[in-house]
Amino acid sequence: MPKKMTKVEESIHEQSEKINKVKKIVKERSSAIDNSQIIPENISDEKWKEKEFSKPNNTVRIGTVFSGIGAIEHAFQRLKIKHKIIFAGDIDDKCKKSYFANYDIADEDWFTDVREFDAKKYKGKVDFVVGGAPCQAFSMVGKRLGFEDARGTLFYDFARIIKETEPKLFLFENVKGLINHDEGRTWHVIHDIFEELGYDVHFRILNSRDYGIPQNRERVFCIGFKNKTEMRFPSPIELEYKMYDFLEDYIDTKYFLREKGIKFVTSSKNREKSYTQVNGDVALCQKRNQQFNWHGDFIFHPVLENEEFEESFDEFIFDVKDVEEKYYLSDKVAKYVLAGGTKNFKTSTETDLDVARPLLQTMHKMHRAGVDNYVTHKGRIRKLTPRECLRLMGFKDSFKIVVSDTAMYQQSGNSIVVDVLIAILKQIDITKYGENYEN
């Protein structure tokens, strides 16, 4: 008996008269567009971190589409900007559970299926609309079917909501692959539609590692203003933290990998293709399914001398040389390399240094001169916890986790990095687009 599809899966595979009509419109538009190049916006010279909001008493009314776990809402919370959520929605019931646990919204202002959401009643009642239509249709990792994928057509519902609500500005976020999909025609269609709605459109690809979060996550951010606006995107800042700074102190044994996972994660094939990374300074781009197929970031916990473990930990302790033996010293070579020296030549036998000795061209020969750069690898490997994934998306620990680990991994991987949104909000001085309801 075939497994029953979830609402999300049904929406992906759905074929309907409306979706087929949208695909036809897109195909006609893409074949009719000119070859003019759409230029991304420049980076500002201003130091956005030092900017103050000009109208801190204003309340910004926000509406979100494909809301997920509310990245823009959390950005407003972190910045302590007065705001009111006018509407939000997501087709995933578990997202609704997370959203309602963390934000103040009336049930009647939440919608489940964006295709059935009539936003006309919110016309003139929302200042800022934010959303990113499901990105898998344009992702360079997937099949890149674009508008041929039902998910790709959901962009039109985002545009429809902009048309129906007429906000002062909107923010559209998506994977960077959207820009060059179908030789740029897809982005040309999207850009033209935003302009036809009467908005001054600015866009640029931004990487979260340039805005305070140690994660390589490149996304296109597109901002549309109802009035003609001079716009520059926020300038990058120096990365002050490493992924290590986002880790939890105490980890449940369920997050440690067993033998099969360890062999996959530590294989040279996966490291070379950047499928996996162990103890990286900057995290790989989080994905919806990274924790289910052993892709993404992992943490190595070395075994300390005389360290005692709970019985449940024992099965996770291993020696990596048993996994990728060609990169580790054999017992015979180890005795030679780790010897203190002979006659007039003496050397340190200390390994696992915090700062490496100078690397040598002949290091691959594993001789004594490079001994200080050897490391021991007996220990445990684990995946990131849901809380750590949230931290690497810019969500503070005040964000309540009320769903399963599986759901939280998915929701985190689908989100927008909060710190990038904070940089944008400060750069554009979002308070200018609100109103002071206290007067």
List residues with catalytic annotation.
135
Residue 228 Cα to chain centre, angstroms: 31
- Nearest Cα residue to 71 out of 242, 336, 286, 248: 286
Task: Tell me the C-alpha distance between 201 and 210, whole Å.
Answer: 23
- Nearest Cα residue to 423 out of 45, 11, 159, 75: 75
What 3-state DSSP class applies to 14?
A: coil
Bridge partner list, 345: 342
Q: Are 282 and 320 in contact (CB under 8 A)?
A: no
Q: Are 29 and 220 in contact (CB under 8 A)?
A: no
Task: Tell me the C-alpha distance between 313 and 127, whole Å.
Answer: 52
Task: Tell me the C-alpha distance between 166 and 122, whole Å.
Answer: 9
Please give the C-alpha separations between residue 20 and each of 14, 25, 27, 112, in angstroms, as whole numbers. Answer: 10, 9, 11, 22
Task: Tell me the C-alpha distance between 23 and 289, whole Å.
Answer: 28
Q: Are 421 and 71 in contact (CB under 8 A)?
A: yes
Task: Tell me the C-alpha distance between 106 and 372, whole Å.
Answer: 61
